[in-house]
């Protein structure tokens, strides 16, 4: 997360996030303090960008003796790219799954076998779109879907922002076959899933590759619509806080607003889409972080005694691919056999490399 996502919360009428500024050991030197309201009921933490920054900052947060986070709700919120097959510029997405799509083998496309559709191959596998044979544990997280739906209901009460530039750019995705129909629509609140990658990417082929991989890793349930650089790292850090008894992993909401299309419109180059197109999505995406996010925050604070102090009971599996905090994942090969299978595959490949 970065300064634009931070500053959109400054000077708002609902609450003063700058009433307290608390320096926390281990936070990013760029964002060394947590900002909190006077009573400490609402706080903001900015991780800085990328997976490493996010993991270190969030771990430092729950390790700090300055905060009691056992009943805290976490709104993991930022801007990101959007898949125009599912959503559009300025939209607000609430995710059930976060998928670490770049944690794969990678080959230069100029050196691919003729039967490979992409240069990305799941780790421990030997072709694209196979289930990974080597599991690290951070590939997929699933959060509380019942809480997500409550948050989406709060967010839908917001009047979302848009821009004339975004309206014009969306129109370029209008195709005869309607492939990108969702991308031509005005901003809305949608329920679809987020991918995490340190690498920015642009292009139809990469978008399709990561959309397919999202399906593979979630047993066909996940729908890729937004990109992020931090979310899986943030979730892994919070999961470890849950294991330590200091965080409740069932109280996490993942929200991304769409600042740019992840692929070009027909006839546009992927490089133009990445660097030079005037998409107009960034200003409304930042604004909608606040407009939708504040409705979620107010809903939780306002309904604390009636609903949220006790928590929203999850009706789905909540946790990581390993089942580390209990329950049985509804994706992946399962918590019992997974550890042995992953360990065996990794050991085999490392042994092979040693003798080359």
pLDDT band at 216 (very low <50, low <70, confident <90, very high): very high
Yes or no: say if 155 and 295 are a contact pair by the CB < 8 Å rule. Answer: yes
Q: What is residue 334's predicted lDDT score, i.e. its pLDDT?
A: 62
> Residue 276: what pLDDT?
96
For residue 256, give the 3-state DSSP assignment: strand
Q: Is the pLDDT of residue 351 over 80?
A: no
- In order, the DSSP letters of 41-55 are SSEE----SSHHHHH
Closest by CA to 323, choosing from 313, 314, 308, 334, is 334
- Name the token pair of 91: 């939209």
- Tell me the average pLDDT across 13-22: 98
Domains and CATH numbers, the chain: 70-354 (3.40.50)
Tally Cβ neighbours within 10 Å of residue 13. Answer: 6
Q: What sign results for the dihedral spanned by CA atoms 134, 101, 148, 182? A: negative
At 125-184, the pLDDT tens digits run 999 999 999 999 999 999 999 999 999 999 999 999 999 999 999 999 999 999 999 999
* Residues 54/230, Cβ–Cβ less than 8 Å: yes
Question: What's the pLDDT at 335?
Answer: 56
Q: Which DSSP category does 56 fall into?
A: H
Rounded to the nearest integer, the mean pLDDT of the chain is 93
Instruction: Indicate the DSSP class of residue 120.
Output: E
- Token pair belonging to 351: 């042994």
**Contact assessment for residue 116 and residue 128, using Cβ atoms and an 8 Å cutoff:** yes
pLDDT of residue 353: 33
Residue 35, pLDDT above cutoff 60? yes
> Residue 184 in 3-state DSSP?
helix
Contact 171, 186 (CB under 8 A): no
pLDDT at residue 157 in the model: 98
Residues shown for the chain = 356
- Taking the alpha carbons at both ends of the chain, their separation in whole angstroms is 42
Residues contacting 310, CB < 8 A, separation 6+: none
Give the pLDDT of residue 342.
38
Strand-strand pairing, 319-320 and 140-142: antiparallel
Across 142-151, 234-243, 271-280, 340-349, least confident range: 340-349
The confidence score (pLDDT) of residue 2 equals 78
pLDDT digits (tens, 9 = 90+) for 44-56: 999 999 999 999 9
Percent above pLDDT 90 for the chain: 91
């Amino acid at each position: 997360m970065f300064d634009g996502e931070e500053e959109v919360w400054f000077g708002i009428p609902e609450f003063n996030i700058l009433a307290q500024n608390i320096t926390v050991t281990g936070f990013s030197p760029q964002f060394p303090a947590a900002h909190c309201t006077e009573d400490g009921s609402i706080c903001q933490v900015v991780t800085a960008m990328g997976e490493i920054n996010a993991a270190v900052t969030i771990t430092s947060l729950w390790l700090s003796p300055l905060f009691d986070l056992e009943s805290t709700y976490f709104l993991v919120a930022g801007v990101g790219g959007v898949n125009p097959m599912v959503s559009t510029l300025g939209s607000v997405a609430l995710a059930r799954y976060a998928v670490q799509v770049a944690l794969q083998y990678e080959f230069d496309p100029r050196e691919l076998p003729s039967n490979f559709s992409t240069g990305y191959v799941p780790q421990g596998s030997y072709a694209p779109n196979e289930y990974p044979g080597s599991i690290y544990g951070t590939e997929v997280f699933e959060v509380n879907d019942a809480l997500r739906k409550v948050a989406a209901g709060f967010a839908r009460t917001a009047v979302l922002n848009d821009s004339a530039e975004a309206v014009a750019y969306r129109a370029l995705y209008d195709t005869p076959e309607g492939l990108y129909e969702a991308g031509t629509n005005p901003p809305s609140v949608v329920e679809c899933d987020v991918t995490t990658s340190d690498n920015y990417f642009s292009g139809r082929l990469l978008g399709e590759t990561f959309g397919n991989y999202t399906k593979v890793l979630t047993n066909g349930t996940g729908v890729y619509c937004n990109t992020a650089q931090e979310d899986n790292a943030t979730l892994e850090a919070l999961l470890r806080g849950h294991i330590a008894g200091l965080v409740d992993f069932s109280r996490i909401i993942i929200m991304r607003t769409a600042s740019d299309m992840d692929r070009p419109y027909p006839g546009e180059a992927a490089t133009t889409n990445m660097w030079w197109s005037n998409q107009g999505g960034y200003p409304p995406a930042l604004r909608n972080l606040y407009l939708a996010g504040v409705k979620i925050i107010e809903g939780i604070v306002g309904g604390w005694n009636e609903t949220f102090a006790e928590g929203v009971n999850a009706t789905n599996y909540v946790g990581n691919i390993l089942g580390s905090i209990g329950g049985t994942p509804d994706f992946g090969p399962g918590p019992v056999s997974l550890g042995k299978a992953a360990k065996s595959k990794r050991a085999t490949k490392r042994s092979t490399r040693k003798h080359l």
